[in-house]
Structure 1
Amino acid sequence: MRKFAFLLILSVSISQAQQIQLERDSVLTTKDTIYFSVKNNMLSPLYFILNSKDSVPDAIVYNRGTLLKPNQKLRGFVKVPRNILEHDSALFNFSKYFKFKAGYGNPATVNHNNSYRYLLPYKKKRKLIQGNYGNFSHDHIASFHAYDFGTKIGDTIYAAREGKVVMIKENSKKHGRSRKFVNDGNYVIIQHDDGTTASYFHLDFNGALVEKGDIVQRGQKIGISGMTGFTTTPHLHFVVHKATEEKGNVSVPIEFEGFVGKKLKKGKKYKRRN
C-alpha cells in the first residue's frame, strides 16, 4: 500500500452553535481502493455516526456507527473505490455523501444522574441571555437544554460538577455572528462519573486554567470567559450532553443548586447562592 498525504477535517456537529473536529489524518490507497482513517483526539470515548445521503454509491463501504476509545485511531472506516472519483487522486468530498454526528461518551453506559445539582459556573451576578430552547442557537437536540450566561471577558469560570478534563481548545482569537465561526470557539469539556460531559464554550484566548487529563473538583477554577466562536456578545455557553446511538450528542435537562424547581428566565440576573 502507498500512503498519500490527505488533510481530512471532520467537522462534527454537537449543536447548532458549537462543533468539534476529529483529528486530521491520512489515507492508505491501493490500486483500486482508498481507505480513510479517523482518530478520536479526546480523552473520552466518542460515538461517531455517519449518516449517508441519497447520493452515496453502493460501492462505498462505511461504518455507520463506531465507538472510538480515547485517542483510538480507526483505519478503513470508509472505503472508496478509486474509479468513482472524478480525478485520480486521494481527494474525496465527504460532505457530498455523508452527514457527521458525534456523541461524547459511550451510549451503552451513559446514564445521567438526574438528582445531581450543578453549581452555577460563575460567581458574579450575570444575566441569562439565552436559555433552554432559545431560538437563536438553542433550537437543536444537542442544545435544547443549554444556557448562555452573559459573562464579561475576564470572568473566572468554575467547574459546575467534578470530573475529568477530556478536551480543551484555547488558541482562537476569532469570533463573529456567522456560523462560519463555529469552530473558532475556545472551550473546556469535562466528563462526569455517569458518562455525561459538560461543555464550557466561548472562553478567552489562552483561557483554559486546566490541562487535558486533569481531574477537577466541583467549584474549581477551570477557565476565563471570553468572546470566541459563533457569538455576538461575550458569554459562557454551558451545556451537559449524553451520547446516543442515533442522534449523537443530546443535551440533558439539569438543575442548579439554589434554583431547584425554578426555570431560569432570559433577561434575569442570577448569582451563585453559596
Structure 2
Amino acid sequence: MKSYWGFAIVIFFACKSVQEKIIKPSYIHFKIEKNTLIVSAKNPLSCPTFITFNKGSLDTVIHINPFQEKVILKLQDTLPDTLKVLKKYNPIMKYGSYPFKKYDTSFNYGLPFSKGKRYKIMQGHFGKFSHNSNFSKYAIDFKMNVGQPVCAMRDGVVVAIKEDSNEGGKNKKYYDKANYILIYHKDGTFSQYVHLKQNGAAVEKNDSVKKGQIIGYSGNTGFSTAPHLHFGVFKPTTNGFVSIPYLLDSIPSEKYKKGKYAFNN
C-alpha cells in the first residue's frame, strides 16, 4: 500500500492476496442465519467511508457512516466458504462519502505553518517531479527543515496517521516510508500533510483539530529529495482521492509557484 502518492491511500484495508491466500479485512464480518451467509462491513473511522465490491457484471458501492456497521451482501444457499466470498466479491473500504456532493470551493485554507514564518516553494501545481497525477496535481511543497511545526489548514477530524518511519530518499522505493497526517473536513474533502519526521505527529487518530493548530512536525521521510512539507486537498471518488485546487491564505493555490516564498503574516 502506498502511503500517499497514489490513490492506494484510500484503499486502506484492501483484501490482500499472497500466493492465492486471502486475508479477511478487519472491517468485514460474517454470520450465518438460516442457510444465509450475511456479510457486513463496519466503518472504524470518525469519517464516512464506502465499500466497493463486485456483484454480477456491475460494481456496487455502499455508503457507511462513521462507526456504523452495514450489511453489504446476503448469500442464500451458499456454503460458508468466506475466503471464496472475499475473492469473488473483493470488498474494499475507501475514505469519504458516496455519492460525493459538491464541496465548498470558496473556503479559505490557512497556510500550514506558524504565524511569522515564511517558506520557499519547492514544487507547485503540476510539478514535473511528482505533482503529475490525479492524486497530486494540485499539491504544494514547502522547503522546511526537519522539526518545523506543521499547522492544520482547516478545522476537521484526524482519520489517519503514520509516524513510525525514519527512512527517506530520492529513490521511489521510499514511497511507502512517508509519515503523514490525513484530516477529514465537514464538506467531505480531505487534506494531507506528508514527509513528517519520525514520531512527528502532535495529534492522535479521531482528534478534532482547529485551523492553525499545530498537528505535527516536518521531516524528510518517504520519496523526498530534501526536507519539506508536501500537502494537498482531495475529494473522494470510487477511483480514490482526486487532487483539487483551493484558496490558500486568500490566494488561489495555483499562484504558489516554485521558487517564490509564502509568508504567514
TM range, smaller chain = 0.7 to 0.9
Q: 1:251 is matched with which residue: 243, 246, 250? A: 243
Determine the C-alpha separation between the residues in 2 that align with 1:41 and 1:230.
29
Structure 1 partner of 2:156:
163
Q: TM-score, normalised by structure 2?
A: 0.73
Structure 2 partner of 1:16:
6
**How far off its partner does 1:248 sit?**
2.3
Structure 2 partner of 1:194:
187
Structure 1 partner of 2:229:
236
Secondary structure of the residue aligned to 1:226 is: coil
Structure 2 partner of 1:137:
130
Distance 1:101 1:72, change over 3 A: closer
Distance 1:137 1:117, change over 3 A: same
Determine the C-alpha separation between the residues in 1 that align with 2:104 and 2:66.
23
Distance 1:134 1:107, change over 3 A: farther
Gaps of 5+ in 2: 15-24, 33-37, 76-82
Determine the C-alpha separation between the residues in 2 that align with 1:132 and 1:101.
29
Q: TM-score, normalised by structure 1?
A: 0.71
- The count of residues paired between Structure 1 and Structure 2 equals 247
Q: Is the 8 A contact 2:164 2:199 kept in 1?
A: yes
Q: What's the % identity of the aligned pairs?
A: 36
How big is the alpha-carbon RMSD for the aligned residues of Structure 1 and Structure 2? 4.0
Determine the C-alpha separation between the residues in 2 that align with 1:176 and 1:46.
32
Distance 1:64 1:182, change over 3 A: farther
- Pairwise mapping of residues 180-191 of structure 1 onto structure 2 (< 5 A)? 180-191=173-184
Secondary structure of the residue aligned to 2:242 is: strand
Determine the C-alpha separation between the residues in 2 that align with 1:269 and 1:153.
20
**How far off its partner does 1:259 sit?**
2.8
Gaps of 5+ in 1: 1-10, 53-57, 80-89
Determine the C-alpha separation between the residues in 1 that align with 2:194 and 2:5.
12
Structure 1 partner of 2:107:
116
Letter aligned with residue 244 of structure 2: V
Determine the C-alpha separation between the residues in 2 that align with 1:37 and 1:15.
30
Determine the C-alpha separation between the residues in 1 that align with 2:165 and 2:189.
26
